[in-house]
Amino acid sequence: MKMCSTSPIIREMQIKITISHIILIFPGSHLHHMEPGNNTQFSEFFLLGFSEEPRLQPLIFGLFLSMYLITVLENLLIILVTISDPHLHTPMYFFLSNLSFVDICFTSTTIPKMLQNIQTESKVIAYEECIIQVYFYIFFAGLDDFLLTVMAYDRYVAICHPLHYKVIMKPQLCGLLVLVSWMLSAMYSLLQSLMALRLTFCARVEIPQFFCELNQMVQRACSDTFLNDMVMYLASVLLAGGPFAGILYSYSKIVFSIQGISSAQGKYKAFYTCVSHISVVLLFYCTSLGVYLSSSASHSSHSSAAASVMYTVVTPMLNPFIYSLRNKDIKGALKRFYGIVGIKRPIVLGVMKCP
């Protein structure tokens, strides 16, 4: 009789023990992740990249390593030339050197990790590292946007108010514009990163990218993402649409001012100073729009990763080409820079040969 009376208790204890064993054996199960208060039971994401074919990995590695080195060397050269040449100590080239520095950092946020994963034959990125990558990716992308807007304002003042250009574009104002750009980008990226921290991921998270892209992360969260979506859309309208509207306004004033110039040579000279910036702006916004549309429309294919290449790698690589190919000041500064290097080299060799 005693055994019969205690058997329901024994059965209940057996059921509890069985459930606890299931949770311990399958730590990735929903039972484990849906416990109240446990939102960070996972520890890593998987970056799918471009292709899983082993024979294509050396080709992808070599291609992206080459583009990364070209990007870094080109932008470093622009920075060195603008700093070393007194003729380029103007607001326009001050902003250009900042843009080159940001492009180096922007590319360095994603490409080295991708190259490391290819080299180690791993697609894993730690959760903390992913959040850090999201922060710096958004930070430098936003900073690119703000700097392009500041450069558009610089062109507006140079063409529409040429007599007051030096008075308006003082070094203090230039430094303040760059500082405000850095601060706004830092606050925006911090907000998005903190919003990403509140997300819960209940299963193996595979991101069809070669880096942690925020929109792809939000789409793969198992928690409510309404607030994240609202913040992303509002921030896109304010911090992407706002600068773009500022650029359009500046160039509308520039076009109106150019139409008032009587001579054809004067019109050409005024427009010529804006060609490089217009090209960079179009490249930046077209590629960023392509990334946004591809990441929104595609959830599992590699089309989003392919579109991101243009935005994260090709655009920073082409910016120095665009600014140097059609810019007489940059060409002249490069010649003087290489001339100084060529003069110093024989002197150093001659000193080394002396007994």
Give pLDDT tens digits for 252-297. Answer: 999 998 888 888 888 888 888 888 889 899 988 888 877 776 666 5
pLDDT of residue 301: 52
Whole-number pLDDT of residue 5: 45
Please give the pLDDT value at position 295. Answer: 62
Q: Give the per-residue pLDDT at 336.
A: 79
Considering the domain boundaries, does residue 20 fall inside one? no
What contacts 24+ positions apart, CB below 8 Å, involve 266-269? none
Sequence-distant contacts of 175-180: CB under 8 A, at least 24 apart: 177/150, 177/153, 178/94, 178/95, 178/98, 178/147, 178/150, 180/146
Per-residue confidence (pLDDT) for residue 259, from 0 to 100: 87
Whose structure tokens read 């773009």?
A: 244
* 325, 228 Cβ separation under 8 angstroms: no
Examine residue 11 and state whether it is found in any structural domain, yes or no.
no
First vs last Cα of the chain: how many Å apart?
A: 110
For residue 57, tell me if it sits in a domain: yes
User: 89 lies in a domain?
Assistant: yes
Q: Give the residue from 50, 67, 64, 72 showing the smallest Cα distance to 115.
A: 64
Continuous H helices in the chain:
2-25, 30-33, 57-84, 91-120, 127-160, 165-168, 171-197, 214-219, 226-236, 242-259, 264-272, 275-297, 303-309, 315-325, 328-353
The boundaries of the domain holding residue 298 are 43-213+222-327
Q: Is residue 55 part of a domain?
A: yes
82 Cα distance to chain centroid: 23
In a domain, 205, yes or no: yes
Residue 27 domain-assigned (yes or no): no
Burial class (CB in 10 A: 0-12, 13-18, 19+), 353: exposed
Report strand pairing: 124-126 vs 44-47. antiparallel
Q: 35 in a domain, yes or no? A: no
Residue 48 confidence (pLDDT): 81
- State the CATH number of the domain containing residue 304: 1.20.1070.10
* Average confidence (pLDDT) per 10 residues, the chain, 355 residues: 45 44 39 38 75 82 94 93 88 94 95 90 89 94 94 94 92 96 94 90 81 86 88 83 92 90 81 86 85 60 70 89 77 73 48 42
Determine the pLDDT at residue 303.
Answer: 62
pLDDT for 159 equals 92
pLDDT for residue 98: 96
How many domains are contained in the chain?
A: 1
Rg of the chain over Cα atoms, rounded to whole angstroms, equals 27
pTM above 0.85, yes or no: no
